[in-house]
Copies of this chain bind each other. A is one copy, B any other.
Amino acid sequence: MTESTGEAAADIPVAFQDPQYHEAVVDLLGAIAYGEISAFERLAEDAKLAPTLEDKVAIATMATAEFGHVGRILERLTAIGADPFAAMAPFRAAIDLFHQHTAPADWFEGLIKAYVGDGMANDFYREIAAYLDVETRDLIIDALEDGGHSRFVVDRVRAAIDADHRLGGRLALWGRRLMGEALTQAQRVAAERDALSALLAGGVDRPGLDLAAIGRMFTRITERHAERMAELGLAS
A133 at the interface (CB under 8 A from B): no
**Interface class of chain A by DSSP:** helix
Residue of B at shortest CB range from A36?
B60
B-contacting residues, A45-81, CB 8 Å: 45, 47-48, 52-54, 56-57, 60-61, 63-64, 67-68, 70-71, 74
Q: How many copies of this chain does the complex contain?
A: 2
Which of the residues B37, B61, B89 comes within 8 Å of A71, measured between beta carbons? B61
CB atoms of B60 and A41 under 8 A apart: yes
CB atoms of A64 and B68 under 8 A apart: yes
Taking beta carbons and an 8 Å cutoff, which residues of A are in contact with B? 34, 37, 40-41, 44-45, 47-48, 52-54, 56-57, 60-61, 63-64, 67-68, 70-71, 74, 85, 88-89, 92
Could you list 20 further interchain pairs (A-B, Cβ under 8 angstroms) beyond the known A37-B56, A44-B63, A53-B85?
A34-B53, A37-B53, A37-B60, A40-B44, A40-B64, A41-B44, A41-B47, A44-B44, A44-B45, A44-B47, A52-B85, A53-B88, A53-B89, A54-B85, A57-B70, A60-B70, A63-B64, A63-B67, A64-B64, A64-B68
A-B contact list, 28 entries, CB within 8 Å: A34-B53, A37-B53, A37-B56, A37-B57, A37-B60, A40-B44, A40-B60, A40-B64, A41-B44, A41-B47, A41-B48, A44-B44, A44-B47, A52-B85, A53-B85, A53-B88, A53-B92, A54-B85, A57-B70, A57-B74, A60-B67, A60-B70, A61-B67, A61-B71, A63-B67, A64-B64, A64-B67, A64-B68
